[in-house]
Chain A
């Protein structure tokens, strides 16, 4: 396994995945700056054939999957399945998988850990985020959506700094709390209680499975 290599899937076929596409740009920049080799499966490249091929050839120690998901699967470009519980596949040779997707933590995460992945971070229910519909062309300028971006990206930031999975999860949970506290203050923007509701939901259903000491 190559601990200096990370793989990221970044579909952007709809509004939701487009936000995640932009959020992960910051992670690519951070990882590159730290000297990691970044395997970027973006847009139409975010398909199963490429994912499995890259894992086999490059053996990334961290895989970061963005996209839609369900309890037993996670998807890439155009919602084509990337990983699924009932797919007959050899064990994935990777250390850590983080899925920014709905529901995967409930069944797929357990399955991946049982089949060779050291640790999995994800969500056991839908991952939600609020956004400003006037900013869809500039997702990174969307102050509302950025609260969700920060709470998620800190996981990768933490792992890239050498922290273990448990520490990364803790930092994300703390970031959720920090965002919620700010939104409860008098400086909070209009509609903040709706943002808080989504942040609490994501925080509650974020999960870590497997070896919590795993690190890059």
Chain B
């Protein structure tokens, strides 16, 4: 996936969603490793490739709510 630049509101929305992740839950993202919510939030704030993947995943989920 190419690196995109996301709007600040989108980033803040994703961070707010990630903050609600239970402390005991981790997310494994293939060869990138496995992360708790604090690590995911850091990657989102950094705007790196992993962070952007997490943002895209969250946006895909939010779009699915429109159809639901």
Q: Hey, which bits of chain A sit against chain B, CB under 8 A?
A: 14-16, 19, 68-70, 75, 79, 101-103, 125-134, 144, 184, 190-191, 193-194, 196-198, 200-201, 204
Contacts and interface: CB of A to CB of B under 8 A. Distances in A.
A70 to B, nearest CB: 7
A126 B24 contact: no
The main secondary structure of chain B at its interface with chain A is: mixed
Interface string B32-68: 1110100000000000000001000110110010001
A196 B61 contact: yes
Nearest to B1: A125
Contacts of A204: 60
Nearest to A199: B61
Contacts of A102: 29-31
B24 A133 contact: yes
Indicate the member of A75, A127, A133, A196 with the most B CB atoms within 10 Å. Answer: A133
18 contacts: A14-B33, A15-B34, A16-B34, A69-B31, A128-B29, A129-B28, A130-B28, A132-B24, A133-B24, A144-B25, A191-B25, A196-B61, A197-B60, A198-B27, A200-B61, A201-B57, A201-B60, A201-B61
Contact of A15 (B24, B28, B68): B28
B27 A68 contact: no
Contacts of A15: 28, 34
Contacts of A194: 17, 20-22, 25, 27
A69 B1 CA distance: 14
A12 B33 CA distance: 13
A128 B53 CA distance: 11
Contacts of A75: 31
B51 to A, nearest CB: 13
B28 A79 contact: no
A117 B25 CA distance: 38
B30 A197 contact: no
A134 to B, nearest CB: 6
Contacts of A133: 24-26, 36
Contacts of A16: 28, 30, 33-34
B59 to A, nearest CB: 10
A22 B43 CA distance: 29
B64 A126 contact: no
A144 B60 CA distance: 20
A131 B22 CA distance: 11
